[in-house]
Amino acid sequence: MKYFRLIWKNAWRKKIRTSLTILSVFVAFLLFALLSAIGFAFRGGVDVADAERLIVIDKISLINPIPISYLNRIAATEGVEFVTHASWFGGYYQEPRNQFGQFPVNPQTYFNMYPEFNMPAEQFEAFKSNRSGAVVGQELADTYGWKIGDRIPIQATIWTKADGGRTWEFDLEGIFSTDDPRGSTALMLFQYDYFEEARAFAKGTVGWYILRVAKGADPVRVANAIDLQFANSPNETKTSTEAAFAQSFTKQFGNIALIVTLILGAVFFTLLLVSGNTMSQSVRERIPELAVLKTLGFGDRGMLGIVLAESILIMLMGGLLGLGVGWVLVQGIAKGMAAFLPGVYLSPAAIAGGVAMMIGAGILAGIFPALTAMRLSIIDALARA
């Protein structure tokens, strides 16, 4: 810390140059924060996936429904603790742009399967006892300003009603939340029985099954046993872990992780060139001063440390500012996009990774100038003074 003043003063020797460098670092880390948060949303399901939960879908495609008759057979499979199911409804609220996930489910088994969702007991009981009842996550309720008792009309894009209507009306009976900040609550759940009774087609089917593997059972063996049961049937199944399911779902949008990595790679490569050049220039300009410091007794390692610390300091100033502004923007984006892209979240891991990148980039940008300072010949440098 005693060298901080010296490092700080040196960093601000050329105010405009340092400010521009910090600005470029700021932009790079702002981008990093935004892309990390959006990337998190795309693979959000993977991160919050429970290793003990398996998903059973139609072998050909997720959009192919599976018979409800599979429920008992899956439940009876060795190693399965219990099963629930869900289906994709795909409607919108008031306008087509207001799209979010709506799922007809069995309230009791679904909430047993997802204990991370919290809802007051009386709201849950009300939901179970009302066939046209629905519950929504806190994010969704906040987005549309819904409160318990509201009647919410959802326009179907797939599931027309048996009477030809496309408007499904639900009574909002409860609002659930999750303690896990990574988990999204931008979804609506309603009674499968009501859906089954009212829909015009595909009766007797569900979208997918979700099962919990019994303690001590091998998830891979359980998955194989389920798929084997339905082999050579009209609806063969594909059973995978929740994480694998989430990953395959995400891949429908392209390899988001690769795209994010490529963009950030290009940004950080440019950043290294800019900041590396700044540090080299800065050290070149004060070779005589560095020689004076060495004359006064600053050792080789001390010189290396001082220049590297300056480089890291510049990265941290721009980077932390970028992450900070990014964090604020992410809060806004997460609220604004909760319904379309739930789970936009700047995770502590991403922040820690960002800080590690700042330090790493600082070292990379500063290492060559620092080595120059370390290897400086005092006599030659003083002769240049």
Partner 1 sequence: MSEILARLEGVSRIYQKGKERVEVLHELDLQIPKGDFIAIMGPSGSGKTTLLNLLGGLDKPTAGTVTVGGAELSSMSNNQLSHWRSTNIGFIFQFYNLLPVLTALRNVELPLLLTDFSSKERVKRASIALDIVGLADRAKHYPRELSGGQEQRVAIARAIVSDPSLLLCDEPTGDLDRETADEILRLLQVLNREHGKTIVMVTHDAQAADFANRSLHCDKGTLEAKEAA
By CB under 8 A, name the binding residues for partner 1: 2-3, 5-6, 9-10, 12-13, 288-289, 292-302, 378-379, 382, 385
Q: How far is the CB of 16 from partner 1 (least distance, A)?
A: 15
Q: How far is the CB of 367 from partner 1 (least distance, A)?
A: 20
Helix (H/G/I), strand (E/B), else coil: 203: coil
Amino acid at 125: E
- Minimum CB distance to partner 1 smaller for 121 or for 385: 385
Q: How far is the CB of 123 from partner 1 (least distance, A)?
A: 60
Q: How far is the CB of 292 from partner 1 (least distance, A)?
A: 5
- Minimum CB distance to partner 1 smaller for 216 or for 297: 297
- Minimum CB distance to partner 1 smaller for 169 or for 380: 380
- Minimum CB distance to partner 1 smaller for 9 or for 335: 9
Q: How far is the CB of 275 from partner 1 (least distance, A)?
A: 20
> Residue-wise over 183-200: b if at least 16 C-beta within 10 A, else e?
bbbbbbbbbbebbbebbe
> Within the chain, where are the H helices?
4-11, 15-42, 44-47, 70-75, 107-113, 121-129, 138-144, 192-198, 219-229, 242-250, 256-285, 287-296, 300-336, 348-375, 378-384
- Contact, 212 vs 80, CB < 8 A? yes
| Closest-CA residue to 53 (of 206, 186, 242) | 242
- Contact, 185 vs 335, CB < 8 A? no
Tell me which residue has tokens 């290396």: 304
Tell me which residue has tokens 């990379």: 364
Tell me which residue has tokens 């742009």: 97
Q: How far is the CB of 379 from partner 1 (least distance, A)?
A: 6
- Minimum CB distance to partner 1 smaller for 33 or for 304: 304
Tokens of 12: 């601000």
| Closest-CA residue to 72 (of 226, 257, 222) | 226
- Minimum CB distance to partner 1 smaller for 12 or for 249: 12
Q: How far is the CB of 23 from partner 1 (least distance, A)?
A: 21
- Minimum CB distance to partner 1 smaller for 186 or for 293: 293
- Minimum CB distance to partner 1 smaller for 180 or for 300: 300
Report CA dihedral (241, 101, 61, 53) to the nearest 10 degrees: 10
- Contact, 218 vs 65, CB < 8 A? no
Q: How far is the CB of 281 from partner 1 (least distance, A)?
A: 16
Tell me which residue has tokens 């006892």: 129
Helix (H/G/I), strand (E/B), else coil: 273: helix
